[in-house]
Amino acid sequence: MSRSSRSNSVVGICRLCQRERPLKDSHVIPMSFFTILKRRGGPATQGSDNLLYRVRPTQDSWSQPMLCADCEQKISRWERYAIEVIRKPGRHKVIVRKTPETWGFFNVDYARFRLFQLSLLFRACVSTRAEFEHYSAPAPRLERMRYLLNAQEAPDGNEFPCLMEVLLNPLPDSVLCTRLVGAPAPLFYEGRKHQWFVFGGYCWYFVEPELSPVQLTYESHLQRGGFMKLPALNPHEHPWIARTLLVQELKVATEWSV
């Protein structure tokens, strides 16, 4: 990589279109989630599955020069849509029906939401930041992701599938789960690798190479008709999340240096 003398921006190969261009400071987990937290008067809480790693507050949005302006703009459209589905679903006529056990989403735009999910996985796999060191994909899968994103073609339901869960805040008016951000090590379940993220009050599990026959019966991945029914998870039942929230609840994290 080099720096442009006129703009002082980093010039390099865009990881998506693979052209040499000035590169933007690209985020894997959308900057919007960090911005929302800052506006509400607090940082995100960064957790880890490594017990030797300190749970800590973070204002850092985990970015690096990675994509050109055109590719950033393309992905940002999908990001904006997905974020609004999560935070303000009525803006896009998405209906959310909640029970203590599940949240049902109706009328989600399949193409835009799935392309956002795919862009999230792609960026984590090509990132060189330490937070995403566990994320990887064989060259053919990486090329397939690149093709779909460049063509703006949403993958089928069992291609790069993403299962989701809602994290229920433990107390009324609590924002503990909303503040939680993480990119833990993969989980292995039913012989499948699950690369996952935690942000926005949700868990996002990317299953490799595809969903198992049992997982295909789940409704927690977006269906072509725009429906998904997400399990509502008690965060204290999940070891990684429970540990991070415990520190947050005790307000220890704010006493540690970033």
Provide φ and ψ at 128, rounded to 5°: -110, 10
pTM: 0.87
Q: How far apart are CA 137 and CA 250, in angstroms?
A: 37
What's the confidence (pLDDT) of residue 6?
44
Q: How far apart are CA 52 and CA 31, in angstroms?
A: 27
What's the confidence (pLDDT) of residue 41?
57
What's the confidence (pLDDT) of residue 133?
86
**Strand-pair partners of 206:** 162, 195
CA distances 167 to 93, 181, 200, Å, are 23, 12, 9
87 token code pair: 């935070």
Cβ neighbours of 209 (radius 10 Å)? 12
CB-count burial class (<10 Å; 0-12, 13-18, 19+) for 154: buried
3-class secondary structure per residue, the chain? CEECCCCCCEEEECCCCCCEEEEEEEECCCHHHHHHHHHCCCCEEECCCCCCCCCEEECCCCEEEEEEHHHHHHHHHHHHHHHHHHHCHHHHCCEEEECCCEEEEECCCHHHHHHHHHHHHHHHHHCCCHHHCCCCCCHHHHHHHHHHHHHCCCCCCCCCCEEEEEECCCCCCCCHHHHEEECCCCEEECCEEEEEEEECCEEEEEEECCCCCCHHHCCCCCCCCCCEEEEEECHHHCHHHHHHHHHHHCCCHHHCCC
What's the confidence (pLDDT) of residue 175?
58
Q: How far apart are CA 52 and CA 163, in angstroms?
A: 28
Q: What are the average pLDDT values for consecutive 10-residue runs of the chain, which has 258 residues? A: 57 97 92 70 59 58 90 95 92 94 97 97 93 89 97 94 88 65 82 89 92 90 96 82 66 45
What's the confidence (pLDDT) of residue 252?
43
What's the confidence (pLDDT) of residue 257?
43
